[in-house]
Amino acid sequence: MMILRPIQESDYPALLNIAHESGHGFTSLPVNEELLQKKIARSVASFGKQADKPFDEGYLFVLEDTETGEVVGTSGIEAAVGLDDAFYHYHLSKVIHSSRTLDVYKAVDILTLCNDYTGATELCTLFLKDGYRKGANGKLLSRSRFMFINQHRDRFAETVIAEMRGVSNEQGESPFWQWLEEHFFSMDFPTADYLTGIGQKVFIAELMPKYPIYVNLLSKEAQAVIGEVHDNTRPAIELLKSEGFTFNGYVDIFDAGPTVEAKVGNIRTVRNSETRTVKIGESNGGFPVMVANGKLVDYRAAVIELALTDSNEVTLAPHVAAALKVEEGDQVSLVKI
């Protein structure tokens, strides 16, 4: 059985292994032991903190195979980005060059450095090991975060965003960054990406071009990857699109990967979720349903085959209820997968 739960201090070796496996371009999990330990400590503190509005909390979850005890994936939520460190994006928009006298009219794409998503809640750090990219595991790892946000609305902003990994090759080289490096920086993409991941962002403000960049002046290779995702990220962005997330022209400043956004109330999982009372008993199976308790420190979520009736109850087998840390009479949220 696969259970999603908050990360614990004892999960550090597993998180370090995931950081190694995730590779270049996965900014939120740099291979830095001290930083990973701090991430875990921050998450543990965030889950245990009393909060009535989003601030600097960071929530990190892990997906555990209960049969083996192995941690096979992770996902996270940043409550509000950019409140203590500037949160940068490029915004893709157009300017018009026209002359009635010369009968010339041309629309030109430009990239403008901005901080427009300051204060938004960010979905981040989603990674699932190769052998477990099957069944409902990816959906549980991603969509359970929407259940958690919905159950604890005061802790999160109304706008939720997700930065999607942009195009880079096996050596970690990004066509978009290669153009920036040539004209403004003297460091390769993996180094810049790593420095950002460990919180050293001052160089961005110091070296990034301050004025809009005309897209048609970039290399053809750089132009081609603006708003495009890494091959490994395609399933993730398709899932978010199916949840109602949209791309509004914001891209990552390093690899030009797209950032997608949605209002909490418009997210499909949130709209379709319902609350039911737990009844303990034998379940005859049915169709896949994601079930999450309403707890904070003891948050648990899983995908289970259930036969739902028209009543406001849901019957859970004893071992499933124990895994979800619920008892008869407790309330759970559920949504069909």
**DSSP letter string over 137-167?**
HHHHHHHHHHHHHHHTGGGS-SEEEEEPP--
List residues bridging with 78 in a β-sheet: 58, 122
Q: Between vectors from CA 138 to CA 31 and to CA 245, what angle results, nearest 5°?
A: 95
Torsion on CA atoms 229, 142, 50, 27, rounded to nearest 10: -30
- Cα distances (Å, whole numbers) of residue 94 to 69, 106, 220: 51, 10, 18
Residue 223 in 3-state DSSP?
Answer: helix
Q: What 3-state class would DSSP assign to 293?
A: strand
Which one-letter amino acid corresponds to residue 328? E
**Distance between CA atoms of residues 289 and 74, nearest Å:** 20
Identify the bridge partners of residue 96 per DSSP, sorted by sequence position.
Answer: 107
From 24, 91, 183, 230, active-site residue: 230
319 given a catalytic annotation: no
- Residue 302 CA to residue 97 CA, distance in Å, equals 54
Closest to 128 in 3D by CA, of 279, 265, 239: 239
Active-site amino acid positions: 230
